[in-house]
Each structure stands twice: as C-alpha cells, then as structure tokens.
Amino acid sequence: MAVAVGRGFLVQPCSYSSSPIFHNKLYKPSLGSATTFWSTFAPQRYPQVAVQAQQRPTWLPGLDPPPYLDGTLAGDYGFDPLGLGEDPKSLKWYVQAELVHARFAMAGVAGILFTDLLRVTGISNLPVWYEAGAVKFEFASTRTLIVVQFLLMGFAETKRYMDFINPGSQAKEGSFFGLEAALEGLEPGYPGGPLLNPLGLAKDIKNAHEWKLKEIKNGRLAMIAMLGIFVQAYVTHAGPIDNLVEHLSNPWQKTIIQTLANSTS
C-alpha cells in the first residue's frame, strides 16, 4: 500500500496480458493515436491526499515512547529513560509511589510557604521550616511525637499497601473502624468519599482522567519546587519568602547567579 502525502503521481502497474509492448510485435502508435498511447503508459494524476497522523504528546518531541507506556496512564508522556516500568507489576507500584510523593510534595510546599509567610510578616512567631523539627513543644515530648507519628503513618501506609495488593479490600465492612462508607475505596490511590473527596470532583474515578492529569501535573511541579526549596535553604540558610523578599529588593543584583557565586567564594 502506497500513501502519498501532498500532490503527486502514482503509476499504475500493468499486467503481462494487457500491456501492448509484450505482444508479438511492438506497438507503434501513429500520430493520431498519441492520446491513446499516453493515456495507457503515462502516470495518472490523482487528487491530493492529506494524511495526518495523530501523535500523542511526549516529553521530548519526536520521541517514540516505550511500548509499555501507551498513554493510558494519567500524565504518561513516555518518560522512562531507565526502563523502570518494563515490568507491569513494577509499573503499577511506581505509579502509586509517584502519586503519594506528589501529594506529600504539594502538602509540603503549601505548608512551607504558608508558615514562612506568617513568620516573615510577623503574624506568628514560627521557626523557619528547616528548624521546625528541633522545636520543643510543651504538650508532648519529641519522643512521644515520633512514636505517635510512626503509629499513625504506619497504619495509613499499611492500609494503602493492603489496598494496592487487593483493591477494594479496605472498603469492606469492619476494615476501617466503620468509616468504610466514607472512603468508598474507588480504586488504589483514589479512596475518595466525603473524607478525601469532600467536593465530589471525581465521583466517577474511572472517567476522571482530566482530574488525575491535573493532580499528577501539579504534584510533579511540587516535587521540583520542593527540591528547589531544599537547595535554596542549603545555599542561603533562609526560607523561600525571605529569599523572595531579598530578590525583589534588588532584582538585578540579587539573583540565583549572584547567590551561587557568593556561596562558592
């Protein structure tokens, strides 16, 4: 099958029996039969054929994505340079791992910016975010807080892992202190319900591809922002709002280039 893009010519094949040049004598057209000769042998002009391939967006334009990344996953742009998702079981786990890290990053960035804004404006006497862990609280000791955090996070992560291994098992009656109806257990990674989806934005999680895409895009951006906040704190020993205020005070002299140059000198 030949496909021509644009305006071109297509030569029709001639069979042995129908072609006059393969008869006993060579066909010699007369002047009057020139039209017949050219209509037989000349290439026939066909209408313009426009072929438009519907290509899926990839992280690098023109790149052929791996076959196991077929675009069905939310936020799938064919990015897997190390081939970590070749195994289907590993791919399912990496999808859940990215989703959890994305949500933690979004919560972390929002918490850091909000508390840093309260601290810089003087509304609240809060420590800078990277020193918050060293603060001693009056209502509980550091050891108590660590134990409580391990218990709560361990319980939540165990339930999440059990739902990943056996989807829907954690929505059964009696599996979550009577709160199963509030979680609904829509699918692994998306428990839903009035507790975790109070606005009801994605009640039909099977057809909520757009909401999944928005979440993973914002989550990936938050992970990059979190990495930037880490590096920023290490280099400048200040919070993100402090760095922003310093930059706005002298935009041409207080930039990332000057900051990195001064930190290495």
pLDDT at residue 246 greater than cutoff 80: yes
Question: What is the percent of the chain where pLDDT is above 70?
Answer: 73
Q: Is residue 98 a known part of a binding site?
A: yes
Rounded CA separation 159/242 (Å): 39
Domain 88-264 in CATH: superfamily? Chlorophyll a/b binding protein domain (1.10.3460.10)
Report the sign of the C-alpha dihedral through residues 189, 191, 150, 139, in that order.
Answer: positive
Angstrom distances, CA of residue 179 to CA of 148, 153, 161, 173, 195: 21, 17, 18, 9, 9
* pLDDT for position 204: 74
* pLDDT for position 113: 96
pLDDT at residue 231 greater than cutoff 50: yes
Helical pair 88-120 and 209-236, crossing angle rounded to 10 deg: 60
Q: Is residue 220 a known part of a binding site?
A: yes
Of 7, 217, 222, nearest to 105 by C-alpha is 222
Q: Is residue 183 a known part of a binding site?
A: yes
Of 218, 111, 100, nearest to 164 by C-alpha is 100
Local confidence band at 28 (pLDDT 50, 70, 90 cut-offs): very low
Question: What is the percent of the chain where pLDDT is above 90?
Answer: 35
Q: Is residue 214 a known part of a binding site?
A: yes
Q: Is residue 143 a known part of a binding site?
A: no
- For range 140-152, the mean pLDDT: 91
pLDDT at residue 152 greater than cutoff 70: yes
Enumerate residues 6+ apart whose C-beta is below 8 A from 160.
Answer: 96, 100
* pLDDT for position 124: 87
pLDDT at residue 252 greater than cutoff 50: yes
* pLDDT for position 265: 63
Local confidence band at 188 (pLDDT 50, 70, 90 cut-offs): confident
pLDDT at residue 56 greater than cutoff 60: yes
More confident residue, 48 or 117: 117
More confident residue, 32 or 115: 115
Of 107, 104, 117, nearest to 239 by C-alpha is 117
Local confidence band at 182 (pLDDT 50, 70, 90 cut-offs): low
